Structure 1
């Protein structure tokens, strides 16, 4: 049953990526607007959580001056150039999606091999190959472009997952008794 569930999750993740990259001219901001409508129902919970945090985290607001200057400059730039928000969100989505896909593929392969480092290598190869092939396939979709830069951005998510998996293997490795 575990293998079936893992296969199901992997197929849904890959199918979701395939579906989203097949949408001509996909934009993130309209999707986020719809999510915002849904999240407004939870707004009171977010506000009370933020108030709870602000009461329990001691921060000298004077220390945040340089961050406030940078964020104010970014907000001014973003208001004049809203496409930058779309660009940043799309690139973050690439990293996050391929991070989780790598973990899913690792877990799936590890159920068959039971050799962690072999599973890590295969997860890297399969996920990176999928990232490259998906970008190539996008060159055939109207309103989409294939970009080697997106493959490298996907690689960031893949490598973050590989580092996390490798770190988890390292810290959970059984040490011999002395």
Structure 2
């Protein structure tokens, strides 16, 4: 297996971005004022007043949180899924291009995603006004696993390039 370090650059950038984001208190990431500028909150209240979700021991609804917080909840959870989707995809890709078989790349990428998801939530425990949630780890792992499965389909029939040690 020939390790191709440049393939790990996207993974490293994602990990650094997640770490930085988790280091910020909630107030620095609060997008509710921006949501209020661009979204008709009265329409949200009218159209989603019956939607109630129970997440991490509390109710997520327009009634319980207000329209802007209701929207922000979905933006935040979508960000969890999307960022860990990217982490899973690029981890798998770097492992596969480095010469690992598809199943081995998938297994290692899964362990990386799950471990970093757990680390990220633990890290938030030490950040002011942030609360770690097991549910967020589940969303992260779901995003990463979805990407790993997709990448496995994309890369499954690509041949592994054998590198001669004489040419290294």
CA shift, 1:81, in A, is 2.8
CA shift, 1:127, in A, is 1.0
| Contact 1:27/1:86 (<8 A) preserved | no
Of residues 101, 107, 111 in structure 2, which corresponds to 1:121? 107
Q: 2: distance between equivalents of 1:91 and 1:102?
A: 16
Of residues 78, 98, 102 in structure 1, which corresponds to 2:88? 102
Of residues 40, 43, 47 in structure 2, which corresponds to 1:73? 47
Name the structure 2 match of 1:112.
98
Q: 2: distance between equivalents of 1:162 and 1:71?
A: 37
| Contact 2:93/2:151 (<8 A) preserved | no
Change (3 A) 1:169 1:155: same
Please list every run of 5 or more consecutive structure 1 residues that lacks an aligned counterpart in the other structure.
37-69
Q: 2: distance between equivalents of 1:122 and 1:31?
A: 40
Using structure 1 for the length normalisation, give the TM-score: 0.66
Aligned positions of 1:131-150 closer than 5 A: 131-150=117-136
CA shift, 1:159, in A, is 1.8
Aligned residues: 138
| Contact 1:131/1:151 (<8 A) preserved | yes
Aligned positions of 1:158-169 closer than 5 A: 158-169=144-155
Greater CA deviation, 117-126 or 75-84?
75-84
Q: 1: distance between equivalents of 2:33 and 2:102?
A: 37
Name the structure 2 match of 1:27.
29
Deviations along 1:33-91, one digit per CA (max 9) or x if unpaired, are 7xx8xxxxxxxxxxxxxxxxxxxxxxxxxxxxxxxxx9951289759432111111000
CA shift, 1:97, in A, is 0.2
Deviations along 1:132-177, one digit per CA (max 9) or x if unpaired, are 111111101111111101000111201211221232245x468xxx
Change (3 A) 1:31 1:73: closer
Larger % of strand: which? 2
Please list every run of 5 or more consecutive structure 2 residues that lacks an aligned counterpart in the other structure.
39-43, 51-60, 160-168
| Larger gyration radius, structure 1 or structure 2 | 1
Cα RMSD after superposing both structures: 3.1
Using structure 2 for the length normalisation, give the TM-score: 0.69
Q: 2: distance between equivalents of 1:112 and 1:31?
A: 45
Larger % of helix: which? 1
